[in-house]
Each structure stands twice: as C-alpha cells, then as structure tokens.
Chain A
Amino acid sequence: MHIKICAEVFDPWQEIQLHQHSAQNLAGKFGATSVFIGTMRDFNGGDDVKGMTLEHYPGMTEKQLGKIVAEALQQWPIINALVVHRVGDILPNEPIVLVAVWTSHRGDAFDASRYIMEALKSRAPFWKKERLQSQAERWLVKNTDGYL
C-alpha cells in the first residue's frame, strides 16, 4: 500500500506502472486493477477556470488517507493499493488524484476503489481555491456526494 502527496505534476499511468512493478506481492497474483484518476477541468459552475491552488493539512492528510485505506482493507481482499494526490498550484488538464486498487476479482477492485475515492472526497483535508479567467478567486465550499 502506498500513499503519496505530490507537490509537482505527476503522470498517473507512470505511477501505476512503477508501483505495480515494484510491489513484491502483485506478480502473478492479481486479476483486476481498478483505476480512478481525477483531472482538473477548465470550467466549474458556469465559469472559466484558469487554475487552482490545493491546500492541505500536512500530517493529517496522510493519517486520514491511511485510515481510509485500512478501512478498505478490512472490507475487501485488496492485494495492493496506491493513492496519489496533488497539492500546490494546478493547471487544467493536470491530474489531481489517483486511486488504484489491485485485487483477485473485478468486483472487489471496483468497490474498494470507489470506497477509497468517496471517503477521500469527504474526509481527506484538502481545500481547493479556484482562479477564474475574470481574475477572481474563490474557495470551493463543499464536495458533492458521489453516490447521489
């Protein structure tokens, strides 16, 4: 299991490949990999967005993500998991978050990755501040419930 907070642009596909190759317990053992990648859009709420800053609470972020992955491990037979989240100044088209889960069978991979992602959205202490084309800045107020 690996959790990483990234201050620079990251390539989610390279992260997956590196993790899959370096993990000792995966070779020959996994049948399913579920991948979620969240990417920054250039629009939100009807406005053109030119960038954003992602603030986080160092330490608490890693602690909460660790708890979330541990909860998923108790509910599904996960062989391995990778969570990468960006912080700092972000531009449209750059990845914000990566959740990848390796399991024996697809149902567990889908369900566990969804659980980790939804829990991250509601509990991991990150905050987005958007910079609009109009030069205005605004904090996002609340994440929506992904199950609705």
Chain B
Amino acid sequence: MSIKVRYFASLKESIGRSEDYLEFAGIATVADVWGCANPNKALPDNSLAAVNMDYVELNSAVKDGDEVAFFPPVTGG
C-alpha cells in the first residue's frame, strides 16, 4: 500500500517534516498511518485528519493511493 502523508502548521514544525511516503502492508486506518509514520510520537489530542482533502475520523479506512493529512485546529478567517 502506498500512502502520501502531509503535515501542516505547528504539527509540521513539531515533527520536523512536511510529508512522508509510506509503502507498507497492514495499514488499515488513518490512525495506522500516523502510527506507521510517527512510531515514537503520539498524535496530539486536538489534531484533525483528512483523507483526500476531506475531514475524517481517526478510525476511518484508508486505501492505496490516498493522501492523508494531519494538522492542528484551523485558525483562518
């Protein structure tokens, strides 16, 4: 399974990367994507997640080719 992972704003700064490319079998959910890309860091409690640019819950399923994003609460406007 191939997944592109993107990070934004303070979360991007705290992990020191803006994106990852995962090529692992056994990734089923958004939470799995985070755990696989960041095995030594818990996702901050207030984080939001998106798959293919739509908001999702952490237990949402992912499939090959998805773009998964993690970011803090939005502060635009």
Contact = CB atoms under 8 A, between A and B. Distances in A.
Contacts, number: 73
Contacts of A122: 74
B53 A97 contact: no
Q: Is the interface of A mostly helix, strand, loop or mixed?
A: mixed
Contacts of A85: 76-77
Given A120-B76, A121-B74, 7 more contacts: A56-B76, A57-B53, A63-B54, A85-B77, A124-B77, A142-B73, A143-B73
A53 to B, nearest CB: 10
A142 B77 contact: no
Given A60-B50, A123-B55, A55 B77 contact: no
- Of the four ranges (under 10, 10 to 19, 20 to 34, 35 or more), the interface on chain A belongs to 20 to 34
- Of the four ranges (under 10, 10 to 19, 20 to 34, 35 or more), the interface on chain B belongs to 10 to 19
A127 B9 contact: yes
A4 B9 CA distance: 21
A42 to B, nearest CB: 18
B10 A126 contact: no
Interface in A53-112: 54-57, 59-60, 63-64, 85, 96-97
Interface string B57-73: 00000000000010111
Contact of A55 (B9, B46, B73): B9
B4 interface: no
